[in-house]
Every structure is written in C-alpha cells, then in structure tokens.
C-alpha cells in the first residue's frame, strides 16, 4: 500500500531525478523510486536533508539525492562556492585537486567546469595527489581558493569536498588554510541559493597543470630539513592504498634518505582499500601489513600515511616487536625536535591533545597556544606559527609551506630525528623516556563510540552534563569546563587526570580523550609507564560508565 509519505518522497525524488546531470546516479535513483515501497527506507535516507557545508566542507556517502556525494551535489557546491568568492571580491584562480576515490576525478572536473562557466580561471592538478600538495598549490599559485576532493580516511563508500582560501580572503594566518566561520555559513547560504542544476553554466574543463607544482612541493618539503644532517635510516612505509606513495618516496630521496621499503599490496591507489577494514592508521589492524614488513628485519622506523596523506602514523621497535606511537607521543617528539633545531615561533595544539606540549614550551621558553579541535583552528593560532599538531595523527611542521596537516613533511621530520638519534646510538624511544623523566609520563588514550543514530550522542553528552562523576581514579574533580553554547565540549579535571568529551566533527562518533600524568621517581620511567597504563584502563572504564556506553 502506498502512503502519503511514500507519495511525497516519490515526488521529491522524481524532481531531483529530473535535474540530476549524472546518468549513473539517475539510474541508481530510478531503481530506488521504482522499488517503492520496499526501498522507502534507503530512499528516505538519501533525501533526509542536504549534506551540510561546514568547516570541513562536504563529506558523505556516494549515492544519489541531496544527502549524498554525487555530481548534482558537487555542482551545487561548486556553484555556491564560486558565487560566494565573487560576492566577496575574490580575484584569481581556483585550484582543484583530487584523490583516487570513486568519483573524485569527475567531481574535480565538474568543479572546474562550473568555475570557468562563471568566468573564473580553474587550475586542475595533473593527477591524483595528496591533500598537502593542493594546500601547497593554493599558496604557490596565489589562488583565491582551493578545492580538494577527498574523504581522507573515511570508508570506501564515502567522498568529500574540502575548501581552502588564499591570502586575499583567508588573511595571513589563513593563507592556504581550510575555511572557518563565517566563511562556511556564507558558502552554505550561496549553495542554497543555487537554482536548477540545469541552469548552472558550465565552461571549459579548466587548465590542466603540469608537474611543476608536485615537483615544487617535493623540493620544498625536502628543504624543510637541516641540510647535511644524518640520513642513515631504513624506513618501512605504506600509503594505505592512497595517493601519498610516489610523493613521499620522491621527497625522501630528494632529502637524501634511501627510498623507503614499501608494502607492495598497499602502494598502488585503490578506492576499495581491499587489505584494511578501515583506511585509518588509528584503527586497530590498519597497520598490520606495515608492521609485518618492518618485522622482516632491517627497518629502523615504520611510517604510514592515511589515504590522502595529510596524516602520519609512526611505529618504533619495542621489546622485540613494533609499537605504534600515539599521536600525542609523536606530536611532542616533533615539537621537541623543532625546538632543539631552534625553529622560532608559536607551538600549538588543541584542547583535546596532551598537556605535555604546553609544559614543554614553558620549560623551553617558547610561545604556546591552545585551540579548539581541528587544523583550521591550529593553523590560525598565531601568524608566527612554527608548529601545530592534533592527537589524531595530524602535524604541521612547516606552516610557511603547507598551512594544514601534512603527513609527508611530518614523516621527513620524524626520519631526520630518528637518523640523528641513530647516529648517536639512541632511538626515538630513548627520547620519549628523556621527556618522561623531565615532565612525568603523560599517558593518553581515546574512548571512541560509533553510533547509528546521531541522537545517541546528544543523549550521552546530556547524561555527562547532568550527572558528572564525583571522582576520577579515586580523586575528586578539581574543575568541570563546559564550552556550551559555543562548542559542545565538556572537560573533567583532577590533579592527575583529565577527560575531554566531544562529538566527532567528521564521523558519527562520540569521543572521550583521556590523559593521566604519572611522576617518574628515581629515574624509573618503565615503572611510571606501567602505573600510568593501569590508571588509563581504569579511567576508560569510569568514563564509559559516565557516558552510559
């Protein structure tokens, strides 16, 4: 039996179908319409509402309708973006990059045609390339803005659309950085104002750039390191089926390192990510192939990029095996390395990252800043930014080159640090122990809860606000910081522990960031680490109970 709701849904879908420019998504949508009422659930989800253009741009599942990533949605997004740029008086080209995900090249080409149709020059990257190369290109080409078609480390069925602004509209601290409010709201309003897709003028496919930009990025990335430093280091590497492999290998060679040994079945870009359950180096099991390669012998360091190579994961030898470093561990190691090199400026991280960076900066007498979560905020922490990181494996080690997280220059700096320590007969683990002996063990972990219904996140946050725990690890809370109404972030603190709770900005997850600080007595770093690990396990259980998960 057909209900009124089904009839309204059918009418909405038919109207979308009539304006959809992509034969493939039209066929998919036609099948859903013809399958009613049996397909009502899937069709209703596709039309649940438009993907919101936020500070991370667009990101969603590849499917027809306004609640998916498809050519129609991308056409509207591109038309809204170029309209907003024109209204703001932005001059100069729009540079467009894309990764190897399903639909990425077509979405990039359509963006270019919308831009040229509106009378704006469009410069298209010469092939599938990492996100940091697009961010670099925005600055190198003095572009008014940049678009990167990628869903980063999301699953294979997703794609996305990131927007970067050039100096004219982004300002000095936002030159080549991702958009922040109110730009996102302005672009979203311009997208809503777009009429029929059939009425959006399409021009030529834009100018295809040659290899000068990716080659310039590689040269500049290599030049970030100290010239003439130690380079004796064997590295095992995986791009995790993404687009970082060739660029990272070229950057390592340009910097004077041997080309890394690579995980062969993960090196060629593959949008299906066939050897990993989830293409995110943070996920359990994602680095198994890399660690197997490193374990064959001879490697000093294991490095992974996520699929668009803006993140960097590192594993080090440990107790006869290999141990992935937490994002906070690598974040502080990189900061310490740059400070030792005398790199001037402000060092920044986010409110959910470890407190150790702030303590390191205070002890070393360098400026420190703390921001909300997200690289769009980190890179705007100060015009003189020297370095920024977030615990989710994002590192900006060369803001003058790429004002965003960059997994390739981060990997180069880790390699430089590891090679320097190797020349002294020491390791990254030794440097971590030195920092722990000086500042105490700052052990961090994350409780991440994936949900099917986003309303569950609001319920859990509400419970934590109404009924906060009286103690954590047996100690009374010393502070509760609630950033509502501006930001949905809640922090619990004790003298030796901190918990920050927030919804994820890019995935249907509730996240709790845990940290305990354990003093090191009489040089016993190992004992302090064991006590901290035990405390983290207990803290994780307590926080899960407080959230009702």
* CATH-assigned architecture of domain 231-436: 3-Layer(aba) Sandwich (3.40)
Asked if the 52-210 domain carries CATH number 3.40.50.2300, the reply is no
Beta carbons of 498 and 515 less than 8 angstroms apart: yes
- Which tens digits make up the pLDDT trace of 265-324? 999 999 999 999 999 999 999 999 999 999 998 999 999 999 999 999 999 999 999 999
- Which tens digits make up the pLDDT trace of 483-534? 999 999 999 999 999 999 999 877 788 999 999 999 998 889 999 999 999 9
Domain with CATH 3.40.120.10 in the chain: 52-210, 231-436
Taking alpha carbons only, the member of 65, 206, 56 closest to residue 126 is 206
Task: Check pLDDT > 50 for residue 1.
Answer: no
* CATH-assigned architecture of domain 440-547: 2-Layer Sandwich (3.30)
Q: For position 239, what pLDDT does the model report?
A: 98
> Rounded to an integer, what distance in angstroms lies between the CA atom of residue 474 and that of residue 547?
18
Q: How far is CA 471 from CA 103, 493, 533, 545, in A?
A: 50, 9, 18, 12
Beta carbons of 510 and 461 less than 8 angstroms apart: yes
- Which tens digits make up the pLDDT trace of 414-424? 999 999 999 99
Average pLDDT over residues 120-140: 98
Residue 257 backbone dihedrals phi, psi, to 5 degrees: -90, 160
Residue 268 backbone dihedrals phi, psi, to 5 degrees: -75, 130
* H or E element, residue 104: helix 104-117
**In whole numbers, what is the pLDDT of the chain averaged over residues?**
96
Q: Are strands 145-149 and 321-324 parallel, antiparallel or unpaired?
A: unpaired
* Strand stretches in 384-531, DSSP E: 385-390, 394-396, 441-450, 471-472, 475-476, 479-482, 490-493, 497-503, 509-518
- Which tens digits make up the pLDDT trace of 146-178? 999 999 999 999 999 999 999 999 999 999 999
- Which tens digits make up the pLDDT trace of 359-387? 999 999 999 999 999 999 999 999 999 99
> Rounded to an integer, what distance in angstroms lies between the CA atom of residue 444 and that of residue 439?
14
Beta carbons of 417 and 333 less than 8 angstroms apart: yes
- The neighbouring-strand residues paired with 493 are 479, 498
Beta carbons of 183 and 102 less than 8 angstroms apart: no
Taking alpha carbons only, the member of 499, 491, 498, 537 closest to residue 517 is 498
Q: Out of 25, 104, 152, 353, pick the active-site residue.
A: 152
Q: For position 207, what pLDDT does the model report?
A: 98
In the annotation, is 152 catalytic?
A: yes
- Which tens digits make up the pLDDT trace of 60-119? 999 999 999 999 999 999 999 999 999 999 999 999 999 999 999 999 999 999 999 999
Q: For position 2, what pLDDT does the model report?
A: 47
- The neighbouring-strand residues paired with 61 are 158
Cβ-defined contacts of 245-251 (< 8 Å, 24+): 245/269, 245/305, 247/129, 247/130, 247/133, 247/214, 247/217, 247/218, 247/309, 247/408, 248/303, 248/305, 248/309, 248/407, 248/408, 248/411, 250/218, 251/218, 251/221, 251/222, 251/408, 251/409, 251/412
Average pLDDT over residues 446-456: 88
Question: Which DSSP category does 519 fall into?
Answer: P
Sort 11 into a burial class: Cβ within 10 Å, 0-12 / 13-18 / 19+.
Answer: exposed
Confidence band for 55, pLDDT divided at 50, 70 and 90: confident
The percent of residues in the chain predicted with pLDDT above 90, rounded, is 93
Q: Angle at CA 546, nearest 5°, toward 541 and 549?
A: 70
Q: Which residue reads 């295809």 in tokens? A: 208
Q: For position 547, what pLDDT does the model report?
A: 87
Task: Check pLDDT > 70 for residue 4.
Answer: no
Task: Check pLDDT > 50 for residue 258.
Answer: yes
Alpha helices in 35-70 (DSSP H): 40-46
Taking alpha carbons only, the member of 64, 29, 68 closest to residue 52 is 68
Beta carbons of 519 and 481 less than 8 angstroms apart: no
């Amino acid at each position: 039996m057909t209900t009124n709701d089904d009839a309204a849904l059918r009418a909405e879908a038919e109207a979308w179908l009539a304006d959809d420019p992509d034969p493939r998504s039209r066929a998919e949508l036609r099948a859903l319409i013809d399958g009613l009422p049996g397909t009502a659930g899937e069709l209703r989800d596709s039309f649940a509402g438009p993907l919101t253009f936020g500070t991370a741009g667009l990101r969603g599942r590849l499917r027809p309708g306004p609640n998916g990533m498809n050519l129609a949605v991308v056409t509207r997004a591109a038309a809204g973006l170029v309209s907003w740029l024109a209204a703001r008086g932005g001059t100069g080209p729009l540079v467009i990059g894309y990764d190897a995900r399903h639909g990425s090249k077509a979405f990039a080409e359509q963006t270019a045609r919308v831009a040229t149709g509106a009378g704006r020059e469009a410069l298209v990257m010469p092939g599938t390339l990492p996100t940091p190369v697009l961010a670099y290109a925005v600055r190198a080409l003095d572009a008014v803005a940049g678009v990167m078609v990628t869903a980063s480390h999301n699953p294979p069925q997703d794609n996305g659309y990131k927007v970067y602004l050039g100096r004219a509209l982004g300002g000095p601290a936002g030159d080549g950085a991702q958009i922040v409010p109110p730009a996102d709201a302005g672009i979203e309003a311009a997208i809503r104002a777009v009429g029929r897709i059939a009425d959006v003028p399409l021009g030529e496919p834009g100018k295809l750039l040659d290899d000068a930009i990716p080659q310039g990025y590689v040269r500049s990335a290599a030049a970030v390191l100290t010239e003439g430093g130690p380079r004796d280091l064997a590295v095992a590497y995986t791009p995790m089926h993404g687009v970082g492999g060739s660029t990272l290998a070229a950057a390592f060679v340009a910097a004077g390192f041997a080309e890394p040994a690579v995980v062969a079945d993960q090196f060629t870009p593959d949008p299906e990510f066939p050897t990993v359950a989830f293409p995110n180096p943070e996920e359990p099991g994602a680095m198994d192939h890399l660690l197997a390669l490193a374990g064959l012998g001879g490697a000093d360091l294991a490095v992974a990029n996520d699929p668009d190579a803006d993140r960097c994961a590192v594993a080090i030898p440990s107790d006869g095996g290999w141990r992935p470093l937490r994002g906070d561990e690598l974040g502080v190691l990189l900061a310490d390395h740059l400070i030792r090199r005398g790199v001037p400026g402000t060092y920044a991280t986010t409110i959910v990252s470890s407190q150790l960076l702030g303590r390191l900066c205070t002890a070393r007498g360098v400026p420190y800043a703390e921001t909300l979560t997200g690289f769009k905020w980190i890179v705007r922490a100060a015009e003189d930014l020297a370095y920024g990181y977030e615990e989710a494996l994002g590192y900006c080690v060369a803001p003058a080159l790429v004002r965003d997280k960059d997994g390739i220059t981060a990997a180069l700096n880790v390699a430089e640090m590891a090679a320097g320590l190797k020349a002294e007969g020491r390791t990254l683990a030794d440097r971590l122990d030195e920092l722990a002996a000086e500042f105490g063990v700052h052990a961090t972990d994350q409780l991440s809860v994936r949900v099917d219904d986003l309303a569950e996140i609001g319920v859990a946050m509400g419970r934590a606000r109404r009924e906060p725990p009286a103690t954590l690890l047996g100690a009374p809370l010393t502070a509760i910081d609630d950033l509502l109404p501006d930001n949905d972030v809640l922090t619990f603190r004790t003298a030796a522990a901190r918990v920050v709770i927030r919804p994820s900005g890019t995935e249907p997850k509730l996240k709790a960031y845990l940290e305990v600080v354990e003093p090191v007595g009489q040089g016993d770093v190992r004992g302090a680490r064991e006590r901290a690990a035990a405390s983290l396990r207990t803290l994780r259980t307590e926080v899960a109970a407080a959230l009702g998960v």
